Amino acid sequence: MDANLERKQLTEQLFINREYNISHPTYDSELEFYNMICEGDMERLKELNLENVYFEQERGVLSKNPVRNARYHLLVTVTMVTRFCIEKGMHEQKAYGKSDVYIRKADEAGTIEEINRLYYKLVFDFAEEMAEIKKSEALSKSLRLALDYIYDHLNESLGVQEIAEYACVSESQLRRDFKRYLATTPADFVREKKVEFARNRLVYSDISYVDLANDLGFASHSHFIKIFKEYTGMTPMEYRNKKYRKHFIDG
């Protein structure tokens, strides 16, 4: 873009902001907002009245189209929140996975009301996850290593022995740690996370059931269906038929 044109556009935007009393949030207030999410501070976030954030002119106008303007703000927010949460301890794959889901949902949303609800949901989704991370900071180093290994190898057939070896503990110690801190077993935790991943893929992609079972390291398609139904009450086909590419309306 021509430098003179850029200066002209900037001057025009500053004039509009001054005439209509539009001002962006301060840098400090933005940092405070992201810090609330990273700290999992649910109470302070609830006080911000985030349900109506995109009706406030002070957020800035990124597009003359109101829906597109709201969508752009959401994309900026989820991008920043993702990176702040990763820096504060959220596992990269989990953070980027959440980000991808919300970006796809934002792309599908057709009204400001839908985007507002989506914005509210993403803020508290990340905040709740960070609150759990804060609670688990007392976890042993070996258990944190085990969790990282699981998230990094969800596409494989994971065994307790393999996880324990990576975490440098015995299988019995690993089972005790999972029971004590997470109230589950390593095997159940792995299955739960595989199903969680599968649910997102079924809703937001066209992957076949067989390919999804293979991608997640299940021994067979039928085993995948059995485990998926145990956790969701539905087969993968039933789940996709009910949820596939639904707009973000009822959360």
Does one domain contain both 91 and 19?
Answer: yes
Instruction: Answer yes or no: is 17 within a domain.
Output: yes
3-class DSSP assignment, residue 117 = helix
The pLDDT of residue 155 is 86
Token representation of residue 231: 């956790």
Does one domain contain both 118 and 154?
Answer: no
Does one domain contain both 164 and 57?
Answer: no
Q: Indicate if the pLDDT at residue 228 is higher than 90.
A: yes
Instruction: Answer yes or no: is 208 within a domain.
Output: yes
State which residues form the domain around 154: 139-243
Contacts of 128 (CB under 8 A, 6+ apart): 40, 42
Q: Give just the sign of the alpha carbon dihedral 166, 172, 175, 176.
A: negative
Token representation of residue 28: 């400090």
Please name the residue that has the structure tokens 């999972």: 178
Which of 136, 155, 189 is the last residue in one of the domains?
136
Please name the residue that has the structure tokens 């969680």: 196
Tell me the pTM: 0.51
Instruction: Answer yes or no: is 250 within a domain.
Output: no
pLDDT tens, residue by residue, 97-111:
999 999 999 999 989
Does one domain contain both 74 and 88?
Answer: yes
Token representation of residue 188: 């159940």
Query: What span, in angstroms and rounded, lies between the C-alpha atoms of 34 and 79?
Result: 11
Does one domain contain both 100 and 155?
Answer: no
pLDDT, greater one: 10 or 29: 29
Instruction: Answer yes or no: is 231 within a domain.
Output: yes
How far from 197 is each of 29, 31, 97, 128, 214, CA to CA, in Å? 34, 31, 9, 18, 13
pLDDT tens, residue by residue, 37-93:
998 998 888 888 776 555 454 556 777 888 888 898 899 899 999 999 998 888 888
Residue 246: pLDDT band with limits 50, 70, 90: low
Does one domain contain both 168 and 223?
Answer: yes
Residue 251: pLDDT band with limits 50, 70, 90: very low
The total domain count for the chain is 2
Does one domain contain both 11 and 128?
Answer: yes
CATH number reported for the structural domain that contains residue 201 in this entry: 1.10.10.60
Helix segments in 109-219, DSSP class H: 112-135, 141-152, 160-167, 171-177, 186-204, 209-215
- Cβ(111)–Cβ(247) under 8 Å? no
Radius of gyration of the chain (CA): 22
Instruction: Answer yes or no: is 251 within a domain.
Output: no
Please name the residue that has the structure tokens 């937001």: 204
Does one domain contain both 90 and 170?
Answer: no
Count the neighbouring beta carbons within 10 Å of the beta carbon of residue 4.
8
Q: How far apart are the first and last CA of the chain?
A: 41
Token representation of residue 80: 């920043």
Token representation of residue 159: 């065994």
Instruction: Answer yes or no: is 228 within a domain.
Output: yes
Does one domain contain both 180 and 231?
Answer: yes
Does one domain contain both 49 and 152?
Answer: no
Angle of the 112-135 helix axis to the 92-108 helix axis, nearest 10? 170
